[in-house]
């Protein structure tokens, strides 16, 4: 029995050593930065505000003349000031059940309006609350507007966390969305991460005329591939020959491979791995988030090859 135990441990140690070596080398392999030399920057819009701020600084400091933001449909979430509104025009008018999740400051409230009809007129509180109603006729537009209450300019009154029509995110059903500001001027909505990232980059100081949102609508099985494919169509239409994709940490290698596959050999795709404080080479193994992030990219690394094989 004593002779079998060392053999068992050696058999167990072998795979553990291999796995440990793979994980040790995975971070530098995945979190690569290799630029193309082009003056076009592609920013993946799904990133958190910290990464988007890094991307904005990169756009300002590194001589990029054009910035594109990518992203699929996002959750219906908006902060609204008093008298500010979101107007959604549906692609196909339809009746059905409308559900909205809203919270806000003391004394806050909102209207849910379609055409000339007010479907909801509700006070809200600090805790999120779900409100619902049944539209008795075909609904073409939905407008959520914050009440007109005294507040400091620029201070959010309510937060909309969800707007569903017949169980589906209104952003998935929309033909267009707009923000109606308190002074009645109109700006674009944020139906996708491409649109929200563009707005964030502008807020971080990147000139608006330098940024183009390239959204990927629908509900694709692979959001990363949908973003790459949408950008490839834009890039070929505009004659772009080189670009750099800015993404977070260990997602860099997969993003580059997908964008290169989508764009084809006529476009040189570089990549820039932005700093991810939750998954660095020094700390990824100290938290569940680091392990999850790294292992997700290790398992997802062959995605570009899988896409190419099925094309």
135-138 contacts at long range (C-beta below 8 A, 24 or more positions apart):
135/95, 135/96, 135/97, 135/98, 136/95, 137/95, 138/93, 138/94, 138/95
Q: Which domains does the chain have, with CATH numbers?
A: 30-74+198-310 (3.40.50), 78-187 (2.60.120.260)
Residue 227 and residue 255 in contact, taking contact as beta carbons nearer than 8 Å: no
Which residue, among 148, 140, 159, has the nearest Cα to 98 in the 3D structure?
140
Residue 101 and residue 161 in contact, taking contact as beta carbons nearer than 8 Å: yes
Please give the pLDDT value at position 4. Answer: 56
Residue 163 and residue 76 in contact, taking contact as beta carbons nearer than 8 Å: yes
Residue 297 and residue 30 in contact, taking contact as beta carbons nearer than 8 Å: yes
Please give the pLDDT value at position 300. Answer: 80
DSSP category for residue 277: T
What pTM was estimated for this model as a whole? Answer: 0.86
Which residue, among 74, 72, 73, 75, has the nearest Cα to 227 in the 3D structure?
72
Four-CA torsion 274, 278, 281, 282, nearest 10 degrees:
140
Please give the pLDDT value at position 304. Answer: 59
The token duo for 245 is 């994709």
Q: Note down pLDDT in tens along the chain; length 311 residues.
A: 455 556 554 454 444 434 444 555 688 999 999 999 999 999 999 999 999 999 999 999 999 999 999 999 999 999 999 999 999 999 999 888 999 999 999 999 999 999 889 999 999 999 999 999 998 789 999 999 999 999 988 899 999 999 999 999 999 999 999 999 999 999 999 999 999 999 999 999 999 999 999 999 988 888 999 999 999 999 999 999 999 999 999 999 999 999 999 999 999 999 999 999 988 888 888 898 888 888 888 888 666 555 554 55
Q: Which run of H or of E encompasses 29? A: helix 4-30
């Amino acid at each position: 029995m004593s002779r079998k135990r060392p053999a068992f441990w050696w058999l167990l140690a072998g795979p553990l050593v291999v796995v440990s070596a793979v994980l040790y080398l995975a971070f530098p392999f995945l979190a690569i930065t290799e630029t193309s030399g082009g003056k076009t920057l592609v920013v993946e819009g799904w990133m958190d505000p910290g990464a988007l701020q890094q991307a904005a600084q990169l756009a300002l400091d590194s001589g990029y003349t054009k910035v594109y933001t990518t992203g699929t449909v996002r959750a219906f979430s908006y902060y609204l000031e008093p008298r500010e509104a979101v107007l959604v025009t549906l692609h196909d008018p339809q009746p059905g059940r409308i559900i909205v999740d809203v919270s806000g400051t003391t004394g806050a409230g909102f209207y849910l309006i379609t055409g000339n009809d007010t479907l909801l007129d509700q006070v809200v509180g600090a805790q999120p609350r779900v409100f619902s109603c049944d539209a008795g006729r075909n609904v073409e537009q939905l407008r959520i507007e914050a009440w007109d209450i005294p507040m400091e300019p620029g201070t959010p009154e309510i937060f909309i966390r969800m707007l569903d029509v017949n169980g589906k995110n209104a952003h998935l059903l929309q033909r267009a969305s707009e923000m109606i500001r308190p002074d009645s001027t109109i700006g674009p909505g944020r139906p996708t991460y491409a649109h929200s990232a563009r707005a964030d980059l502008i807020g971080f100081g990147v000139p608006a005329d330098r940024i183009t949102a390239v959204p990927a609508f629908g509900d694709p099985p692979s959001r990363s591939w949908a973003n790459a494919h949408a950008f490839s169509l834009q890039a070929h239409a505009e004659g772009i020959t080189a670009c750099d994709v800015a993404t977070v940490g260990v997602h860099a290698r997969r993003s580059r491979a997908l964008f290169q596959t989508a764009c084809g050999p006529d476009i040189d795709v570089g990549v820039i791995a932005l700093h991810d404080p939750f998954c660095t080479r020094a700390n990824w193994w100290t938290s569940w988030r680091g392990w999850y992030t790294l292992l997700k990219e290790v398992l997802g690394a062959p995605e570009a090859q899988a896409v190419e094989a099925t094309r």
